[in-house]
Structures are given as C-alpha cells and as structure tokens.
A = this chain, B = another copy of it.
Amino acid sequence: MHSAFVQMDGVKRSLHVQLAREIARKILSGEVAQNEIIPGEMTLCEQFKVSRTSLREAIKLLTSKGLLESKPKVGTRVTGRENWNFLDSQLLDWLIDIGDNEAVYRDFLSLRNALEPEAAALAAMNATAQQRIQLSATFQRMDDISKDFNVETWTEADLEFHRLIFLSTGNSFYLPFANVLCTMFKSFITHSSIQGSTCINEHRAIYSAIMAGDSDKARQANIDLLSKSKRRLPNSTK
C-alpha cells in the first residue's frame, strides 16, 4: 500500500479507520459470526495488505467499541451482540452503511420516544443562558423556514433544535444522543424519506415551555410532537 490516505466518501480517512470499517461491516452484517475467532494478525495483514501496526490499531478501535476481544495465544474473538456499543455514532454509521435500515430506524424512533420528552423536561430546568440563546436562534430559523418551506434548510434546523435540547439537559448521559441523532439524520437525508410537514406549532410549544422553565409542559409538548409524527410512519413500536 503506497498512499497512506485514500479519498473515500469525500473525506480523507486514515488507513486503520478504513480497515476498522471493513472489519466492522463483516461483524455487523453477520458475515463473521458472534463468538467466532477471527484469523490471526499476520493472516489478516496479508489479507488486507497492511502492516501489523495499522491492523492492530484497527482491532483496538473495534475492541474499544465492544466488537472484539483479544487474548494472547487464543486470538481475537468477536464478542456477543449485547456488547456492541450501539450508542456510538461511529458504529452507528457503519451499521447504517450496511443498508437494511428498516429495523434501525424503527428502534431509534422507539428510543427517541422514551428519551426526548424527558430531555425536554430537563432542558427546561437546566439550560444555561447561552443554550437558551442558541435555542431561540434555532427556533427562529425554523419558524422562518416553515413559512417559506425548503426541505434541506428545514431538516438542518430541525436537527439542530433537537440536538440542542439534548445538550441543554445538564445531564452528561444525554450528551451522546446529540451525536447519535446527527448520524441518523444524515442517513435520513441521503436515503430520502423526509416528510414535508414541519409540525411548527408542536415545536413552538416545546420551545416556549423550555424558555419558560416549565418542565412538565415541555415533556408533554414533546410527547405530542412524537405522537403526531409517529402517525406518518409504518408503526414505531413494532
């Protein structure tokens, strides 16, 4: 391998990340089974035509996300599915890349159902002054776009709105969802399936409640939004 970096998907990626992606695909797609021992390092080096250094960095990356597990003498084993960290946005990106995203979208919607109302309630209580300013600016943009609708700008503003709510909860455990949300949205966009309706009134209700510091109203408004947008999808809870 002569060039260390390769153009791919429009962005430059280091070699070990590309490698990790390839291996992750095989694991996530089930091409290599769970609890299976993958070939030894030297074998994989020859197979992928990379140095052991890079291969190991790729394996370490996957290990860190719970996909692999290495031990001397025994080898590197694919772990059980219950150990994959599905809330890692990079892993999610790989997962989406496989295609067959019906189940992924459905499961994610189910998670949003559980989380977003509570996140909105927390944001109403804990959002900082700066976060409230950002939320205001974003909602203003949504409001403008809803009057002169444009799919692209709307999608971006909508994403930013819900992302800010997660970031404004004041709860560290909600932060990762902001990135996961971004990854899912990007996939929604490229795979179309965006709805035209903006639900601007429902969004306004959430926004107002958060700004007013009314957590109960924020929670309920978010529930309303979800139940309204849910009706336009196949069926969210399976």
- A92-135 at interface with B (beta carbon < 8 Å): 103-104, 107-108, 110-111, 113-115, 117-119, 122, 125-126
Contacts of A171 in B (CB 8 A): 107, 110-111
Q: Does A208 contact B (CB under 8 A)?
A: no
**Contact yes or no, A114 B111, CB < 8 A:** no
The verdict on A87 contacting B118 (CB below 8 Å), with A64-B61, A125-B238, A167-B82 known, is: no
Tell me if A's interface is mostly helix, strand, loop or mixed.
Answer: helix
Interface set, chain A 124-149, CB cutoff 8 A to B: 125-126
Q: Which of A36-44, A52-60, A195-203 contacts B (4 or more CB under 8 A)?
A: A52-60
Mark out the residues of chain A between 166 and 194 whose CB falls within 8 Å of any chain B CB in the assembled complex. Answer: 167, 170-176, 178-179
Q: Enumerate chain A interface residues (CB-CB to B < 8 A).
A: 16, 53, 56-57, 60-61, 64-66, 81-88, 90, 103-104, 107-108, 110-111, 113-115, 117-119, 122, 125-126, 167, 170-176, 178-179, 237-238
